[in-house]
Structure 1
Amino acid sequence: MTPTRSTRRLCTAGRRVLTTAVVAALVGGLVAPGAADAVPTAPASRTEVPGSTNEEPLAFEIDPRLPVPRLPLDPVGRLGTNRELGVVAGPDGSPAGLVLDEVMVRTADQAGLDAFLTRWGGQLLDSFPADAQGQDHLVRVDVDRADPANLVADLRAAEPGQSGRYRVGDERALRLLALAAAEWRTGTELVLDWLVEPAGIADGKVFEAPNIINKNVFDWSYLGSGNPMDTGVAKAWQLLQAKGKLTRQVKYLVMDGGFQNNPDFPAKVTLYTAEWGKPNPSNCTNDTPCPWHATDVVLAGMATVDNGYGTAGPAGPVVDELVAVRNGNDYWTKLRRLEKAAEATRPDVVNLSFGRDVTLGKDHARTWTDRRMKHVRDTGALIVSSSGNNGKNIDGNPLYVPCESVHVMCVGGVNTWDATVSDKSNYGTSDVATSVEIYGPMCVQLLRDPAQPGANEAEARCGTSFAAPFVGGVAALVMAANPNLTSAQVRDILNETAHVGELGWHVTGSQRRINALAAVAKALGVKPSVSISTPHTKQQFTVGQSVDLWGTATDFGGKDLPLTWTSNLDGPLGTGSMTFVPSLSAGTHVITAKATDSLGQTASATVTVTVVDSPATAAIISPPAGLSLVAGQPVSLVGTSSDPDTSGPVPDAQTSWTVRRGNEVVFQKSGHQAVLPAGTVVPGPYTVTFAAGGAVVQRVFLVTAVPAGQTRPTATITKPASTLKLSTVHAAPLPVAFAGTGTDAQDGTVAGTRYRWTAYGDGGVKKVLCQGSAVPTGGPVDDIVLPKSCASFTGELAPLASATTVTTWSVWLEVFDSSGLVGVDSTLVEIERLTP
């Protein structure tokens, strides 16, 4: 319809701009690698502040030069056969088609619908089934009842942030916008029926045509492992096959245009309002023809594997049935048909490679899209959608539908050569479920000419319309791995197992990139493989013997994992594939090697070993055997021990002394050496018990009273004044200087001729070092006695073979007075045997 002069005056007066929801960005098409002109580079995004002096005033005007889309529209209801298209161009100049004289409106009940129909002279064309909160309707309206003069004011009241210059193709489009703005101002949930466009396809550079040079799909950059993409799809097939799960069991729905059958399609295809060989009626990104867009999408997601034809898709081995749904050009028709198809076929995966960006009434469009997508999701399907090929941040002002629905997994594209986000792919700056959630390969192998399937030639083409079905194909592998998973659980697994990071400096939202192998491994519950090579089960060790711990662990992809070693008796032992512990405590140990992979899956292996504690030996050196002494003198307690497991003495903490007088305990202490205090040494029989590491030895001595009217002498060793420590590398005796004194109350200073020095060693060794000539021996007295003093002398002591590395000698000095009473003192000499 040609606009009238009065209409032009109405629209252009004051050059004020009315913000119509311009939704012209494509979601997810194809771009050629290296072909910069295939999809135009999106302008840099900017943030505009409502009311800022930098904003152009909100205004609308009619521009009959805008091209109206020439696309057929499917009939809707009894009155929907003559549906016409209009066009709106937003501030960025991009034109977007919409259905004239139609709106999608939500009412709570029949009374609300009747009021709307009355208000706008409406005719009901179609309705979704009602739910608990209301019902969605498609209504043909009489736009002549709308007043364009109120458009700017109504739109600013409904959406205060609107600004910029909008153009419409004719007066009917202008009045339709005015009607929508009037309803938005009152809070009515109303959505314009925009045209939605398939993701764009542009011919890309042919990589291997007519035949793929690298025929082994395990080496393909977007299916293999160990390359920048590292999707691990091929290894995921192997893992499923090993578990008996690589079978056809998944139903995959693709809504698109241009289905052309070929040997790479699943054997079972259900055509839902679709026809074989009917080209896609819509063009794609940059108005590029894409007659077989649906065929490319199917092959990107589920092309048959290992059939000597075409290409390979991740879900090729597991898709049992393809549900092919013909798309529609307007949003109502598309989602109405999608919901009916999903309810009728109950697919496991739904792929949507189309979209629309909405700026007018976007809150209503978001609510409406979320509601309709929830109905599709509630059929049990995981919904994947391409993010778009405009290189834009979708977290900005326009609303990208259906990609930004919380019920849709929005998929972006990454380059195969470095796994960074393609400059043609839309992306996100917020890591939320309504942004770009995960990324798949931007470029995949497809048929060169789907219209000629017999040619069997492949080429590489790029676009997020391929990334989405690829991710959907990986989801199908996860479903095959565990058919009991819900679609929400599958979505979580794809996100939790994805590679993370290094997608590019500008991508500050989700950093996830699809990882098929990890996702399938988690769904299967595959645990790491752990083995222990040493020690061996039933192996025996002695206490103090070092134990080597050697083992290996690998994850689901064959990657080495670190091991953590523990003992049920000693706790943590160490980490690493090769480590050792100096010793284990005595007993039976269950040694566990445990590994955890990147999925949080853990596995372990165990061995049981025995650590034998060989019995220790103990001996008492002092007090000497058969000791009898007068009360009131301290008694040196000296013991030795040997632990064969450590080739050394038992630790002091594991030794103890107990001294009893009769049956009464009079003294207790730990350590190899102690002194029984003089005040404790009163007349009576004594039993000394020395315990070391389980070994127990005893010795007795007798304490007598000092006779009435007498005093015992006092003996004092002056050299060595304290314990003497010596060392040697030989077994030969060492010279040791000794000196001592003796006094008595009756005799005064006791002469050295009445001294006797005796050394006591390990194993009951006794050696008299010096005995004075006047020491009473109890034997016959020689007629001639040579005087001999032991007040000072040099004796010899040697290391004992029976001892450990240190030989301890307990040296006793006895001083005899004239009445025969004896006073004693003792000291220690320790000789360490060094290794030559």
Structure 2
Amino acid sequence: MALIGAFVGVPAPAQAASPIETEISVLKEELNRVIEVQQQGPAPMDDQVAASMKKSVEKAQSAEPCESADGLLSFAQLAREQVRVLQEVIGKGGWNADQLAQLNAARNGLDKLGRQAGAIRARVFTELKECEGPLDFYVDPDRAKPPMDKLPDDRPLASLTGSDGTPMDFVADELVVTTSNQSELDAVVARWNGKVVNKVEQGDLNHYLVKIETSAARPDQLSDALKALNPDKSKAESVAVSSREGLELLAAAATTEKAAVNWVSKDDDIPNGSTPEAQQGPPGHSSGSYNRNSFSWRYLQSGSTQDIGVPAAWQLLGSVGKLNNKVKMAVLDRAFTTSVDHPSSTTFTTSVPGVSPSFQFPGSTPWHGVKILDSMAAVPGNSVGTAGTAGPVARPTGIWTTGDFFYMMVALGQAAAGGNKIVSISQRTEVPWFLSWSVLPFDRFTAWITNINNILIFASAGNEGNDVDATTGVFVKWEKTWHTPCENAGVICVGGLAHNSLNRHANSNYGSEDVNIYAPYTVLAGPNPDSPNPNVATEIHGTSYATPYTAGVAALLISADPAQNIDTIENILLDTMRLSPDGKVKRKVVHALGAVQEALPPTVKINTPLNGETLSAHIPASFTASVFGDGNGQPTITWRRGGVVIGTGPQIQATVPAGTHTITATAAFTNGVTAVDQVTATWADHVPDVKVTGPKSPTTTPTFDQSELIPFHSTSLDDLGPLAESSMKWYLDNATTPFATGHNPTVNTGAAVGAHTVTLKGCDPVNQCDQETIPIAIQPDGANKPPVVKVTSPANGALLWVNGNDATGWYHELTLNGTATDPEGNPVTVKWFDNGVQISDTLQPTVRLKGGCGSSTHNLTLRATDNAGISRQDQVTVTVSLIC
């Protein structure tokens, strides 16, 4: 009966050989060819060994899969032993070129056969049956291949692959030794001629990174050592290791007390290609075509299928002033660089000495760390890039790490020391059950650092579509693989939801026990060095991005009430999850708005007046407050100045006497719960600001004829706006009686010939006054009277808003108007000046007065000259404003 037939319990058609049967047949043919080649050489295979190998391959053709696996293992072990024998024969030397070629061909052929047998054995376990029996490790660089030869800091990398084909990488010459006993550490160092290169403290316990020489290790003892480490678990496995050094490292770890493998994780994403964000983005994230308003993005908004409600949570927190509660957050990842879309407070560091935070592994997801920060911390509403869930509150730090367990512990220590309350890790590796003991130091460390430092760690579930809680075993079942750090103690593991769906994304890993929460698998990313345009948003996919998304939601809960401990935050996050129809997700969908509503205590927030603001004691002030009731009903809001009640209600107006006062708003709910907020503000009785705007010259004293009418201009500003006309009084020299009143009188002063001063004095209703003095000169009347000039438009003191722009900037465009006559009836020439620069020589020109953000002052002067060369002018001052 064929192997497949044996597995399913029915005979297979004679002509339908399974792929495994075919591979074993090829193996048998290849064995005969290798034996024949070796028999022709100087060191022919022992007949008894050849017979044993043939017998083993015949057993491999057995109808029962586990017997077949036993035969393949026996065959592989005999082949490896013959490789060792031939290596010794070759090493003795004395062979001519032909003999050496024959020996090498036989050795290489047997080595290949041993690897093929191991690979076929793995296929038997994957496709046919789980079997009791030994674990088998062997070197096969074709089946197990690390993504690179060395890590960026020049540490050698190795990889292993079990029967399921999942690659697992580790550092090929390092042990992580966990001990509080110096003599135990010394013993490990001495045994392996090692060197301690780094240390991570865990309270009284230390984790040491020890670089070792692996050549003294005994790979032939590895299977027995692992059996002793897994006494209650018996299952056959075929494991390929990428190098002899890597195989020796595994043997060293398995036979050394207190030592573990330094596993290296991989990125968990699938690469491909009214808050305004990027102008362009993919369709489908909003209703209809792409909308740059992140409030409309389905994976963030309320009311979509997922209904997570991130922007609504922002609004709620903002309404009660909680977005000012910033949260320190750390991302453990690779390939960081600055982005215009990340908070200005973003910082970067590295856990590995000598490696830049911007370094990225060859072949890894480009700028993975930048994209992680996009999902978590991109600033909403800045007209570029995208929007991260914690964008309004995040104070992020990117910590570069190779992803190996030891330096991930270093990075976690750095995150805790930096005061970060949340850590996001979008890296993961899968450690098979027979090596799961080597994860225990890392597991203990994540549990310790969360508890001691009161932080939350989020990690990605992975993108293979697998059950992280899947079990294995022939009779007794146990967990097949330790997905770390996802399944570590103290870690919240995050899976991914399909786009605009409550169902799991097909590629997202899942687990009823260890995948704790689900968030959007596909989000939008902003600019990075490979896609630098900040006006284009692109899709990114993977639990890599669901993880920082969820970490960002947790940050919103901390902002809602920073006094809560992390256990409370975690409980709220998980207790408010929503139900999915997907049986693999169940009630595990993140719900940002619901969680923030649960985390936010009853709150009253004074919106006006602002803390530290100065207001006028003459104008009724507006007192407004926002309230979050947290289910306690509608409150009564009472306002107090010190202990004096000034009104009730969410919005009142009241006049406050001059002075600095503490304003308190107390929200009293019907069930007796109260919430209080207060600000301190100053009410001032402002002194008026009075200015003479004409006649005025920075270089000469304005001179007039004795009988001439002089145009005077001024501006004033007080609490209630300009002073009354009757309060603006003009005095000649030191007179106590004014010669004119008002802001813009045209009068004769009655002054004698000579130099004089004119003083303008303006007083408010409580007799607070300001004044300014200008010089004028009076000359005798001449035979030819001077021109009479008046600016009629714009009015002195006018506020002109920007109404256009050109290549030179913003402006206000208007037509100037004035009058200019000669008492003798002769013609006059006119010129307009703007701040001393001539802008026209006509009486009614259309001009553009420049302005920008804020206010720009323009002194507009109309000058007229008669045919005798006598000139007079009138001047007004206006302001061009633009709110930016």
Please say if residues 411 and 464 of structure 1, whose CA atoms lie closer than 8 Å, have aligned partners that are also in contact: yes
Counterpart of 1:300? Answer: 375
Counterpart of 2:426? Answer: 353
User: Is residue 64 from structure 1 mapped to residue 141 from structure 2 by the alignment?
Assistant: yes
Q: Distance in 2 between matches of 1:58 and 1:17?
A: 11
**Residue 206 of structure 1, CA deviation:** 6.3
User: Is residue 196 from structure 1 mapped to residue 268 from structure 2 by the alignment?
Assistant: no
Counterpart of 2:401? Answer: 327
CA spacing shift, 1:236–1:557, aligned 2, 3 Å: farther
Q: Distance in 1 between matches of 2:165 and 2:115?
A: 20
Q: Tell me, what secondary structure is at the counterpart of 1:200?
A: coil
CA spacing shift, 1:331–1:436, aligned 2, 3 Å: same
Percent of pairs with identical residues: 30
User: Is residue 85 from structure 1 mapped to residue 149 from structure 2 by the alignment?
Assistant: no
Higher relative contact order (CA 8 A, sep 6+): 1
Give the partner amino acid of 1:420: N
Counterpart of 1:405? Answer: 488
Residue 254 (structure 1) aligned to one of 323, 328, 331: 331
**Residue 115 of structure 1, CA deviation:** 2.2
**Residue 73 of structure 1, CA deviation:** 2.7
Q: Distance in 2 between matches of 1:267 and 1:350?
A: 19
Alignment of 1:532-611 (within 5 A): none
Q: Tell me, what secondary structure is at the counterpart of 1:513?
A: coil
CA spacing shift, 1:516–1:145, aligned 2, 3 Å: same
Q: How many residues align?
A: 488
Counterpart of 1:524? Answer: 600
Q: Distance in 2 between matches of 1:371 and 1:558?
A: 38
| Per-residue Cα deviation, 1:229-279 (whole angstroms, up to 9, x for no partner) | 111111111111121112251111112112232221011122213899965
**Residue 453 of structure 1, CA deviation:** 3.0
Alignment of 1:125-136 (within 5 A): 125-129=197-201, 131-132=203-204, 134-136=205-207
Residue 153 (structure 1) aligned to one of 215, 218, 224: 224
Q: Distance in 2 between matches of 1:14 and 1:74?
A: 30
User: Is residue 95 from structure 1 mapped to residue 167 from structure 2 by the alignment?
Assistant: yes
Counterpart of 1:615? Answer: none
Q: Distance in 1 between matches of 2:227 and 2:114?
A: 17
Of structures 1 and 2, the larger Rg is shown by 1
CA spacing shift, 1:10–1:459, aligned 2, 3 Å: closer
Q: Tell me, what secondary structure is at the counterpart of 2:183?
A: helix
Residue 543 (structure 2) aligned to one of 447, 459, 464: 464
Q: Distance in 2 between matches of 1:91 and 1:234?
A: 46
Give the partner amino acid of 2:590: I
Q: Distance in 1 between matches of 2:524 and 2:130?
A: 50
Give the partner amino acid of 1:196: S
| Per-residue Cα deviation, 1:519-562 (whole angstroms, up to 9, x for no partner) | 1111113599xxxxxxxxxxxxxxxxxxxxxxxxxx9899999x
TM-score (normalizing by structure 1): 0.53
User: Is residue 438 from structure 1 mapped to residue 529 from structure 2 by the alignment?
Assistant: no
Q: Distance in 2 between matches of 1:292 and 1:53?
A: 41
Give the partner amino acid of 2:282: F
Q: Distance in 1 between matches of 2:134 and 2:435?
A: 20
Please say if residues 270 and 324 of structure 1, whose CA atoms lie closer than 8 Å, have aligned partners that are also in contact: yes
Please say if residues 195 and 210 of structure 2, whose CA atoms lie closer than 8 Å, have aligned partners that are also in contact: yes
| Per-residue Cα deviation, 1:199-253 (whole angstroms, up to 9, x for no partner) | 2341149624999822232221111112211111111111111211122511111
Higher helix share: 2
Q: Tell me, what secondary structure is at the counterpart of 2:453?
A: coil
**Residue 501 of structure 1, CA deviation:** 3.6
**Residue 167 of structure 1, CA deviation:** 1.0
Q: Distance in 2 between matches of 1:4 and 1:195?
A: 34
| Per-residue Cα deviation, 1:788-818 (whole angstroms, up to 9, x for no partner) | xxxxxxxxxxxxxxxxxxxxxxxxxxxxxxx
Give the partner amino acid of 2:263: W
Residue 137 (structure 1) aligned to one of 208, 212, 219: 208
Q: Distance in 2 between matches of 1:506 and 1:395?
A: 12
CA spacing shift, 1:417–1:337, aligned 2, 3 Å: closer
Counterpart of 2:307? Answer: 230
Q: Distance in 2 between matches of 1:281 and 1:520?
A: 36
Please say if residues 285 and 299 of structure 2, whose CA atoms lie closer than 8 Å, have aligned partners that are also in contact: no
Q: Tell me, what secondary structure is at the counterpart of 2:313?
A: helix
Q: Distance in 2 between matches of 1:386 and 1:167?
A: 26
Give the partner amino acid of 2:310: V
Give the partner amino acid of 1:199: D
Give the partner amino acid of 2:429: R
Alignment of 1:674-713 (within 5 A): none
**Residue 155 of structure 1, CA deviation:** 1.6
Please say if residues 603 and 629 of structure 2, whose CA atoms lie closer than 8 Å, have aligned partners that are also in contact: no
Q: Distance in 1 between matches of 2:443 and 2:247?
A: 27
Alignment of 1:754-773 (within 5 A): none
Q: Distance in 2 between matches of 1:12 and 1:46?
A: 20
CA spacing shift, 1:170–1:73, aligned 2, 3 Å: closer
Please say if residues 632 and 669 of structure 2, whose CA atoms lie closer than 8 Å, have aligned partners that are also in contact: no
**Residue 305 of structure 1, CA deviation:** 1.0
Counterpart of 2:243? Answer: 170
**Residue 280 of structure 1, CA deviation:** 4.8
Q: Distance in 2 between matches of 1:60 and 1:323?
A: 41
CA spacing shift, 1:560–1:603, aligned 2, 3 Å: closer
Counterpart of 1:337? Answer: 411
Q: Tell me, what secondary structure is at the counterpart of 2:387?
A: coil
CA spacing shift, 1:73–1:3, aligned 2, 3 Å: farther
Q: Tell me, what secondary structure is at the counterpart of 1:224?
A: coil
CA spacing shift, 1:92–1:388, aligned 2, 3 Å: same
Residue 213 (structure 1) aligned to one of 274, 283, 290: 290
Counterpart of 1:619? Answer: none
Q: Distance in 2 between matches of 1:392 and 1:15?
A: 27
**Residue 461 of structure 1, CA deviation:** 2.2
**Residue 400 of structure 1, CA deviation:** 0.7
**Residue 122 of structure 1, CA deviation:** 2.6
Q: Tell me, what secondary structure is at the counterpart of 1:128?
A: strand
Q: Distance in 2 between matches of 1:309 and 1:209?
A: 19
Give the partner amino acid of 1:228: T
Please say if residues 149 and 156 of structure 2, whose CA atoms lie closer than 8 Å, have aligned partners that are also in contact: no
**Residue 194 of structure 1, CA deviation:** 1.9
Give the partner amino acid of 1:67: K
| Per-residue Cα deviation, 1:82-137 (whole angstroms, up to 9, x for no partner) | 532222222122333221121112224012112222333332222222633x3221
Counterpart of 1:422? Answer: 505
Residue 578 (structure 2) aligned to one of 495, 499, 502: 499
User: Is residue 265 from structure 1 mapped to residue 356 from structure 2 by the alignment?
Assistant: no
Alignment of 1:689-768 (within 5 A): none
Q: Distance in 1 between matches of 2:117 and 2:258?
A: 26
Q: Distance in 1 between matches of 2:184 and 2:570?
A: 38
Deviates more, 1:66-75 or 1:470-479: 66-75
Alignment of 1:6-85 (within 5 A): 6=84, 54=131, 57-65=134-142, 66-70=144-148, 72-73=150-151, 75=153, 83-85=155-157
Counterpart of 1:240? Answer: 317
Q: Tell me, what secondary structure is at the counterpart of 2:519?
A: strand
Please say if residues 195 and 356 of structure 1, whose CA atoms lie closer than 8 Å, have aligned partners that are also in contact: yes
**Residue 363 of structure 1, CA deviation:** 4.0
Alignment of 1:375-414 (within 5 A): 375-377=448-450, 378-396=452-470, 397-414=480-497
Q: Distance in 1 between matches of 2:523 and 2:632?
A: 30
Give the partner amino acid of 1:308: S
Q: Distance in 1 between matches of 2:271 and 2:632?
A: 43
| Per-residue Cα deviation, 1:428-455 (whole angstroms, up to 9, x for no partner) | 122xxxx111111111111265534344
Counterpart of 1:645? Answer: none
**Residue 141 of structure 1, CA deviation:** 2.3
